[in-house]
Structure 1
Amino acid sequence: MVLDPDTGTREREDPMSELRFAIRVKPGAKRDAVGGIWDGALGEALVVSVRAPAVDGKANEAVCRVLAEALSVRARDLTVVKGHRARDKLVELRDPPPGCAERLAELRGSGGEPRGVR
């Protein structure tokens, strides 16, 4: 894997295979939103707020749904690979579309202002 210094994401040598990135989840939020940076246990993480509670994996399911919408990908292509029961998680996106790493960088750089997801 290669760390892209511009986007802060880890990509495999084959850029079409997977993209892994850290997130910080805020379960039980007033609204679903993606945006901002959190300096967490896994390094700089994208902040993902979800309305779902952190009970029985509901927040993890919501995280994949909300991230999929924000990144314009399918939710089934996103997997939580580390931190299933923690707020700091490592997420993997299989077969990321072109420009996905740049979109992640945009979301991280939203100045801490979450971008709502409907």
Structure 2
Amino acid sequence: MISDDAYLAMTRFGMGYRPDLPEQVGEAPRAWLRRQLSSDMQPRPPVTLIPDLKARWAIRFPTPEEKRMAPERDSYQTFVQYSDRIRDARIMTALQTETPLRERLVHFFF
């Protein structure tokens, strides 16, 4: 059973409860939060669904040749799909991170 402090640390300062978090939080939830903010804590980036830079650039700024090859492509719809993929990737990154407090701060400020 997890303590009230650990539960609050996971839900209020993190991205919510996950089955793997009680092990990470342990008996010292405040230390767990401080560890996430320390400069020596380098979180492992999760696998992300964000397209690579070349694909993102092509979606946003298709070349004249790409426009000729797909004239029926609706640029607004393409941008909406692109935006949806970015949003979904940010959500999945936030849910899978080892440093939920940092992710919560990122989502708060950006």
Larger radius of gyration: 2
The structure with higher relative contact order (CA 8 Å, sep 6+) is 2
| TM-score, length of structure 1 as denominator length | 0.26
TM-score, with normalisation over the residues of structure 2? 0.27
Considering fraction of residues, name the structure with more strand: 1
Structure with higher helix content: 2
